[in-house]
Amino acid sequence: MNPNTGRDTYQEHEGMTVKLQAVRHQRGITLFGLLLWAIIIGFFALLGMRVLPTMNEYFTIQKAVNKIAAEGLTTVPEIRRAFEKQKEIEYSIKSISGKDLEITKENEKVVIRFAYDVEVEVMDPVFILIKYKGSSKAQ
């Protein structure tokens, strides 16, 4: 028994040991871990910002091709002109033009196909090649 505090010395030592063990078992993220996750999340955010506009363009082209196929145009020049008009309206279509469309007839329905490649710059010497292709729905 400690004469100054009136407590048992062993109990004080035991309480201190429990506190030290609690401090040692605390969990958390280190600065290095935080920086690593910031780099990973930043890289994927950069990829998303570079790739999403090309995906938007693809969906716009797909919508335009479906609209033109549903109009009932029959000749290739009419379809190409209609796509060029649609391209003037939709400012986001830059990768292809009317001459890049493959126009066929299947089951008495006009089918318009397209395919194109887009190079997305990640950082100066690194690029991603994305190949897009699609066709109109056979109505």
Query: For 82-119, what is each residue's pLDDT tens digit?
Result: 999 999 988 889 999 999 999 998 888 889 999 999 99
Helix (H) or strand (E) holding 4: none
Give every residue of the chain whose pLDDT is below 70, as ranges.
Answer: 1-26, 138-139
The pTM (predicted TM-score) of the whole model is 0.73
Per-residue pLDDT at 113: 95
What pLDDT is stored for residue 27 in this prediction? 77
The CA distance from 24 to 18, in Å, is 10
> Can you list the positions of beta strands (E) in 1-139?
102-106, 109-123, 126-135
Between the alpha carbon of residue 132 and those of residues 13, 18, 43, 57, the distances in Å are 70, 62, 23, 10
Question: What pLDDT does residue 137 have?
Answer: 80
